Chain A
């Protein structure tokens, strides 16, 4: 479960959001929607620990998350809009590198975990390819596998369908619903309303439901 309390963020004197409160029960999918420039990515980066919040706190599975911008753990798995895969490493190594170097998993253990995650996402045949050889949809699933390999308490996605065709979008929907079935808590930033509708238990409209003043 993710609990957000009184979260505020401004850039200089421009308030992006203020006193944001939110509870995302374990295993649910929350879609964050709203027009361009409203602060969706800003919010996601704070959840991801990449940007400092001005105020407030966030609790994931009863443990507070660092909001100073200097988070060191990988409890929130992030799938970026342009994936940010590591181009010099194979698909499999993209997934196993962090478990091995950060969590000190043994190479064989990490390898088995990576193979299992990638196969589960339909990437068994791509494991030894490099990111540049993959389609957008495939890259995204690698990014999901890479995040899952750290066994995070939740996943956060930024615009997961931007740049994907209808077929790949359907595939993302399937994957998100599949993970939901397995109990993964997921937060998805998107401005694709039909997509939000297809995946979300709840939708938060950043344009209308968030205090800014």
Chain B
């Protein structure tokens, strides 16, 4: 018990990093995903092509590779050198935006043409139609899938430890190696379970709020 108390501060410190990566990634990737989804619906073939290649690469390669590539790779090739945290957050945003864009794309496809027509004959502008008619329905439709990704992000954030960022995973690793015990890993596991449980409950709550109509 004393041992747990002794390593808890360092784990909680790691938790801050985990929260940072998690929060900034959501903050950046949700809007970016929406923009990419909009670009996927554009009339410009070139733009759609670029977006499809971007999504294909982001979803077709491991996130771990992408993190290492952005942090070490770009630096080795002398293209760009990012600090660890910036490299991690940038990669996470680009990666998750691709997944979110796919989800939003599906959400937009599920809206019937009739909704656009109904709005148009009432005189709504395209922007009003998007904001008042389409977006709320898309939001409801994508929420379960977004929820899954949010829970995944909690766990994926542990990947930042490969570039030496002091997150929860790394804090556990250091303690386990130093004290030669299994205990830190168990604690880290419990903390992740708690985080994913909270994320799941929050997302379910949001879904539930949107369930007042069909």
Residues in A lying within 8 Å of B, measured CB to CB: 48-50, 71-74, 76-78, 80, 82, 84-88, 97-98, 101-103, 130-132, 146-147, 150
Contact = CB atoms under 8 A, between A and B. Distances in A.
Given A85-B118, A132-B213, 16 more contacts: A48-B117, A73-B123, A74-B121, A74-B122, A77-B121, A78-B121, A82-B114, A84-B114, A84-B118, A86-B133, A88-B136, A88-B213, A98-B122, A101-B124, A102-B122, A130-B212
B152 interface: no
A71 B117 CA distance: 11
Interface in B102-135: 112, 114-115, 117-125, 128, 132-133
B213 A130 contact: yes
Given A97-B132, A102-B128, A80 B123 contact: no
Interface string B177-214: 00000000000000000000000000000000000111
Interface in B126-153: 128, 132-133, 136-137, 140
Interface residues on B, range: 20 to 34
13 contacts: A73-B123, A76-B121, A78-B117, A82-B114, A84-B114, A84-B118, A85-B118, A86-B133, A88-B140, A102-B124, A130-B214, A147-B121, A147-B122
A135 to B, nearest CB: 15
B112 to A, nearest CB: 8
Contacts of B128: 101-102
A168 B117 CA distance: 25
Q: Which of A73, A102, A131, A150 has the most CB of B within 10 A?
A: A102
A109 to B, nearest CB: 17
Nearest to A146: B122
Contact of A49 (B120, B124, B132, B213): B120
Contacts of A98: 122-124
Contacts of A147: 121-122
Contacts of A97: 122, 132
Contacts of B140: 88
B60 to A, nearest CB: 35
Contacts of B136: 88
A103 B212 CA distance: 28
